[in-house]
Amino acid sequence: MSKIHLVVGGARSGKSSFAEECAKNQTEKVVYLATAVVTDTDMANRIEKHKLDRPQFWHTIERYRDFQAITSQREFLEADMLLLDCLTVMTTNLMFEEHQDYDAISKEKLYEIEQVVISEIDELINIARKSNKSLIIVTNEVGMGLVPAYKLGSYFRDIAGRVNRHVASAADEVTFVAVGIPLKLK
């Protein structure tokens, strides 16, 4: 039976480690959906560290959209568990894909972008449920930090926060991780 588990926490809270531990405790047949794209040396180093931290026998698929495309891949077909890390990076990628001037963007266009993010994550959730695969989604809690001083940051925080709430409502389980300590919310 598939289960959707949202793992949320702040930056460096231990949420990815917790999510990976949850996956390891359930099965060895994990597909890790990596949403990050290399944008600079720092990001390349972070991606490499994540790769080294997870079990080498897990399959990694680098993808942050169009998840239907993975459903015919052998790795997906053989997996019991999907682990998406992370939804906030996925949101960032989808926002930047739009090539918008976020200082002059309309509310209607912002809403369209948010709907694209929701549509993409809903597609993955539906795929997991239909394929009887469990899914762990890692995301950042964006509402407890500093208020961004620029429009793009504010728009990102608002969209990411609403997307997180949307996924939490669809999830069977929600865990908040702070300072490496998990707190079950749902």
CATH number of the domain encompassing residue 127: 3.40.50.300
Query: Strand order in 134-140's β-sheet?
Result: 59-62, 30-34, 81-85, 134-140, 4-9, 173-178, 181-184
Distance CA 103, CA 85 (A): 29
Residue with tokens 């890790």: 32
Domain count, the chain: 1
Say which of 50, 59, 99, 166 is annotated catalytic: 50
pLDDT of residue 40: 80
Better pLDDT: 173 or 98:
173
3-class secondary-structure state, position 167: helix
Question: Active site includes 166?
Answer: no
The answer to which of 5-9, 24-28, 96-100, 146-150 has the lowest mean pLDDT is: 146-150
Domain carrying residue 96: 4-184
Q: What pLDDT band is residue 172 in, cutting at 50, 70 and 90?
A: very high
- Residue 186 pLDDT exceeds 80: yes
Residue with tokens 């972008």: 113
Distance CA 138, CA 4 (A): 11
Better pLDDT: 120 or 54:
120
- Residue 174 pLDDT exceeds 90: yes
